[in-house]
Amino acid sequence: MVNSATRRTAGWKARAVLTALAAGGAQAAAAQDHAGQYEQADIEFGARLYDANCVQCHAETGDAVAGVDLAAGVYSRAGSDAELMGLLRAGIPGTAMPPNEFTASELTGLVSYLRTMRDVDLSAVAVGDEARGRALFTGRGACASCHRVFGEGSRTAPDLSAVGAIRTAAYLQRSLLDPTGSMLPVNRPVRAVLEDGTVLTGRRLNEDTYTIQMIDQDERLRSLEKAGLRELTAAAESPMPPATDLLDEQEVADVLAYLLTLKGL
């Protein structure tokens, strides 16, 4: 969680960034057609960032500052999304736009929303509540029974302490709704059978030609010689059930909102 001073600092930085990006130039590039290019979860996350940091000066329509029209999608210094993200992160020397420490997911969200804001009905954007999401994560959602956050929770599934900085809102939403379909190969659970018949299941941490390291079902670190195993297989399905098995649509949105706040230490 960020404190109020940090939010205020992020707010004026974001407002300065957007003003500088949208400031007109004689040779401003024409707006690109981005219809259907962005995923709804990223747009909604960007809308929340915009509402928290920018709407006070730019208004919901993006044209409250003289000479600036964010919704028009005309940027004199950035023609592509990659260039727009670069400017958001690096700033522009000699202008009011400073460097910023937006995470990759925040940049994706901001660009997704800025590119589509003229077509998005803000009243229809369903934004989850991070406080409710935190309670669901550790409570009824049972996420902490497998995942660890800032030293609390289980180690049997990947640590999520920085997941909001490295995964986009759309990716996290897919992971909640379809864990198997969005599972990365490195995160596939493994099953190892030792020479004495003992069966170990758990999360693969590292693997090479001769050995494999894993966290087993009892959260113990194991380093195994492959030559000494009867069997070693990787599961095709995630042990994590779809979030909708336990939570309704709004509660899933709440958990997503909480995950997006996890930016590491």
Express each pLDDT in 220-233 by its tens digit.
999 999 999 999 99
Rounded Cα distance between 149 and 166, Å, is 14
Can you name the residues that pair with 233 across neighbouring β-strands? Answer: 191
pLDDT for 50 = 75
- What share of the chain has pLDDT > 70, as a percent? 75
For CA atoms 127, 166, 255, 52, the dihedral sign is: negative
- Asked whether the beta carbons of 57 and 17 are under 8 A apart, the reply is no
Based on the fold, state whether residues 30 and 47 are members of the same structural domain.
yes
Based on the fold, state whether residues 37 and 76 are members of the same structural domain.
yes
Q: Is the pLDDT of residue 81 over 80?
A: yes
Q: Give the residue among 44, 165, 176 at the shortest CA–CA distance from 109.
A: 44
How many domains would you assign to the chain? 3
Rounded Cα distance between 170 and 13, Å, is 25
Distance set, CA 220 to CA 123, 160, 168, 200, 204 (Å): 48, 19, 30, 10, 12
Based on the fold, state whether residues 120 and 25 are members of the same structural domain.
yes
Based on the fold, state whether residues 210 and 134 are members of the same structural domain.
no
Angle 9-15-17 from CA coordinates, rounded to 5° = 100
Residue 28 DSSP code = P
Structure tokens at 49: 């960032």
Based on the fold, state whether residues 10 and 27 are members of the same structural domain.
yes
Residue 118 CA to chain centroid, in angstroms? 23
Based on the fold, state whether residues 156 and 249 are members of the same structural domain.
yes
Can you name the residues that pair with 215 across neighbouring β-strands? Answer: 203, 221
Rounded Cα distance between 22 and 15, Å, is 11
Q: Residue 104: inside a domain, yes or no?
A: yes
Q: Residue 87: inside a domain, yes or no?
A: yes
Q: Is the pLDDT of residue 83 over 80?
A: yes
Q: Which of 3-7, 183-187, 257-261 has the lowest mean pLDDT?
A: 3-7
Segment 7-32 shows an average pLDDT of: 42
Based on the fold, state whether residues 108 and 37 are members of the same structural domain.
yes
Q: Give the residue among 163, 162, 17, 170 at the shortest CA–CA distance from 86.
A: 17
Structure tokens at 133: 């999401």
Segment 139-167 shows an average pLDDT of: 94
Based on the fold, state whether residues 50 and 160 are members of the same structural domain.
no
Q: Residue 265: inside a domain, yes or no?
A: no
Higher pLDDT, 196 or 120: 196
Count, in order, helices (H) and strands (E) of the chain: 9, 7
pLDDT for 244 = 96
Based on the fold, state whether residues 119 and 201 are members of the same structural domain.
no
Based on the fold, state whether residues 36 and 114 are members of the same structural domain.
yes
Phi and psi torsions of 182, nearest 5°:
-105, 5
For 234-243, write each residue's pLDDT tens digit.
998 999 999 9
Based on the fold, state whether residues 116 and 155 are members of the same structural domain.
no
Higher pLDDT, 205 or 119: 205
DSSP, collapsed to helix, strand or coil, labels residue 40 as helix
Q: Is the pLDDT of residue 37 over 60?
A: yes
- Asked whether the beta carbons of 112 and 46 are under 8 A apart, the reply is yes
Segment 125-153 shows an average pLDDT of: 92
- Asked whether the beta carbons of 29 and 76 are under 8 A apart, the reply is yes
Segment 209-213 shows an average pLDDT of: 95
H-run or E-run covering 165: helix 163-166
Phi and psi torsions of 226, nearest 5°:
-60, -35
Q: Is the pLDDT of residue 191 over 90?
A: yes
Segment 112-118 shows an average pLDDT of: 86
Q: Residue 106: inside a domain, yes or no?
A: yes
CATH of residue 136:
1.10.760.10
Rounded Cα distance between 163 and 105, Å, is 9
- Boundaries of domain holding 134: 130-182+240-259
Q: Which of 17-21, 50-54, 193-197, 199-203 has the lowest mean pLDDT?
A: 17-21
Based on the fold, state whether residues 11 and 95 are members of the same structural domain.
yes
How does residue 53 score in pLDDT terms, banded at 50, 70 and 90?
Answer: low
Rounded Cα distance between 67 and 75, Å, is 12
